[in-house]
């Protein structure tokens, strides 16, 4: 039996401590909610318009359109590209299901391209060979908070005349060679799911683009395809961000840079602690690629005997999660595509080895020491 970790002082804590975050901004958030309640203006309106402008500025894009979720942002982007039956969209199988779900829901075919194991992002070398005459778009995912290697992806897309839709749900604030994610391709899709770096009090999403015609089409599509009430140019949907969410998110956006810096500081400290305990030779630690920063929506390691480690950590009061336990090409929902084990070996290996450790700006040194000490005692015991 591995030795018990001495951790008497650390109370149980979650992977992301949203209550700790709320305590730091409670007055402003509560005032924002109050402001919307007094106005009784819940749909669209100034909170949403202002938030769109603020996100556009933050992401360095000309246009931004708020919608109901990150999943809807992906769907709206593909709808605006008129992706449908007979089309293919190239993406990664090592992502949240929504990325490929948006493609499949429109009747198009997700074409899965394997990842680079060190970055967990699309292997840019493998994207070109996956393009066919039916390819309409490429969706790189900036997984865990670091941009995909966009140089080759953008070049391939240009050469082949296909669009790039960035799934930036986990990466608000990340940059690639100086350009913020979401303004590198034709458009960017963001999520404000509570556990994202900029999290709402519920669901929310955003699209960013520098293409005015595309922005206009997105705006039509998210409001039933109508420019004015009861006149419809396109078949759209109802996907809006609530004014209440916009008001809360506007408060939080003002803190995003300092929260990101806090996440990066925790990541640096993890790296130092792992090196001090000589765990850097055992664990696969996050690699920040040149030209990139990392905003650490997740701090993900690759660990030998991952499942045993996860159970051991749980027994010692250390939360952890597996993102993602099964790559999408092997999920039941996508069996009709005909993929089999071995088709995306790096994604399959990642799904066996990855473990996300707690990382959030309010995390204390004691909490972080407990995580690292527990991992050290697990490997010392074997
Ligand atoms: C969270 C997430 C989404 C979906 O966002 P929702 O707002 O939950 O619909 C899409 N892609 C990735 C990579 C995500 O992490």
Strands across the sheet containing 88-91: 63-67, 205-209, 187-191, 163-167, 135-139, 88-91, 109-112
Shortest-distance atom of ligand 1 to CA 196: 1
Distance CA 97, CA 116 (A): 19
For residue 297, the ligand 1 atom closest to its alpha carbon is 15
What are the structural domain ranges in the chain? 22-253, 257-380
Residue 6: pLDDT over 60: no
| Residue 381 pLDDT greater than 80, yes or no | no
Mean pLDDT of the chain: 96
Model confidence over 249-292: pLDDT tens digits? 999 999 999 999 999 999 999 999 999 999 999 999 999 999 99
* β-strands 226-228, 88-91 pairing: unpaired
> For position 8, what pLDDT does the model report?
56
Ligand 1 centroid to Cα of residue 198, in Å, is 12
Whole-angstrom distance, CA of residue 20 vs CA of residue 9 = 18
- Segments in 138-255 forming alpha helices (H): 150-160, 212-222, 243-253
Closest ligand 1 atom number to CA of residue 74: 10
% of the chain at pLDDT higher than 90: 96
Q: Tell me, what's the pLDDT at 273?
A: 98
Residue among 74, 81, 69, 141 nearest 101 (CA): 74
Q: Looking at ligand 1, which atom is closest to the CA of residue 143?
A: 13
Question: 107: exposed, middle or buried (C-beta count within 10 Å: 0-12, 13-18, 19+)?
Answer: exposed
Q: Binning pLDDT at 50, 70 and 90, where does residue 1 land?
A: very low
pLDDT 10s digits, 92-138:
999 999 999 999 999 999 999 999 999 999 999 999 999 999 999 99
Does the pLDDT value for residue 189 go beyond 50?
A: yes
Question: CATH classification of 22-253, choosing from 3.60.20.10, 3.40.50.970, 3.40.640.10, 2.40.50.100?
Answer: 3.40.640.10
Judge contact between 111 and 83, C-beta under 8 A.
no
pLDDT band for 53, please (50, 70, 90 cuts). Answer: very high
Q: How many residues does the chain have?
A: 382
- State the Cα angle at 187 between 221 and 250, rounded to 5°: 80
- pTM of the full structure: 0.97
Q: What is the rounded distance in angstroms from the CA atom of residue 297 to the CA atom of residue 312?
A: 23
Q: Quick one: average pLDDT of 11-39? A: 97
How many whole angstroms from 196 Cα to the centroid of ligand 1?
9
Question: Is residue 296 over pLDDT 90?
Answer: yes
Question: How much distance in Å is there from the Cα of 54 to the middle of ligand 1?
Answer: 21
Alpha carbons 226 and 42: distance in angstroms, whole number: 20
Q: List residues near ligand 1 (CB under 6 A).
A: 69-71, 95-96, 98-99, 141, 167, 169-170, 191, 193, 203, 205
User: Can you tell me which atom of ligand 1 is nearest the CA of 95?
Assistant: 13
Q: Which residue among 73, 120, 169, 242 is best mutated to probe the pocket of ligand 1, counting the most ligand atoms within 8 A of its Cβ?
A: 169
Question: Residue 181's closest CA among 193, 169, 192?
Answer: 169
What kind of architecture, by CATH, is found in domain 257-380?
Alpha-Beta Complex (3.90)
User: For residue range 326-339, what is the model confidence (pLDDT) as tens digits?
Assistant: 999 999 999 999 99
How far, in Å, from the CA of 253 to the mean position of ligand 1?
18
Residues in CB range of 59: below 8 A, 6 or more apart: 172, 180, 181, 182, 183, 188, 190, 208
């Amino acid at each position: 039996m591995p030795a018990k970790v001495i951790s008497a002082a650390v109370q149980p804590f979650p992977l992301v401590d949203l209550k700790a975050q709320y305590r730091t901004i409670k007055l402003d958030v509560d005032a924002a909610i109050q402001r919307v309640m007094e106005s009784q203006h819940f749909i669209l309106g100034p909170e949403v318009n202002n938030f769109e402008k603020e996100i556009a500025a933050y992401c360095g894009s000309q246009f931004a359109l708020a919608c109901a979720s990150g999943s809807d942002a992906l769907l709206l982007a593909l709808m605006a590209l008129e992706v449908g039956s007979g089309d293919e969209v190239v993406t990664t199988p090592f992502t949240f299901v929504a990325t490929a779900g948006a493609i499949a829901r429109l009747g198009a075919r997700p074409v899965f391209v394997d990842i680079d194991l060190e970055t967990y992002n699309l292997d840019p070398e493998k994207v070109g060979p996956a393009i066919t005459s039916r390819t309409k778009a490429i969706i790189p995912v900036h997984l865990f908070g670091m941009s995909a290697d966009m140089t080759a992806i953008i070049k391939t897309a240009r050469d082949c005349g296909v669009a790039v839709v960035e799934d930036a749900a986990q990466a608000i604030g990340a940059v690639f060679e100086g350009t913020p994610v979401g303004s590198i391709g034709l458009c960017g899709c963001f999520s404000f799911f509570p556990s994202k770096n900029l999290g709402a009090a519920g669901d929310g999403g955003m699209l960013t683009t520098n293409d005015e015609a595309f922005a206009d089409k997105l705006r039509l599509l998210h409001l039933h395809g109508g420019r004015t009430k009861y006149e419809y140019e396109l078949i759209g949907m109802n996907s809006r961000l609530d004014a209440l969410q916009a008001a809360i998110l506007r408060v939080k956006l003002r803190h995003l840079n300092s929260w990101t810096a806090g996440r990066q500081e925790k990541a640096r400290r993890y790296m130092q602690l792992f090196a001090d305990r000589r765990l850097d030779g055992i664990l696969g630690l996050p690699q920040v690629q040149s030209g990139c920063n990392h905003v650490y929506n997740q701090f993900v390691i690759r660990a030998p005997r991952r499942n045993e480690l996860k159970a051991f950590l749980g027994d010692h009061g250390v939360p952890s999660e597996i993102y993602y336990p099964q790559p999408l090409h092997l999920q039941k929902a996508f069996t009709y595509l005909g993929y089999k084990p071995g088709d995306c070996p790096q994604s399959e290996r990642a799904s066996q080895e990855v473990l996300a450790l707690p990382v959030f700006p309010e995390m204390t040194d004691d909490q972080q020491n407990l995580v690292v000490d527990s991992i050290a005692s697990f490997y010392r015991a074997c």
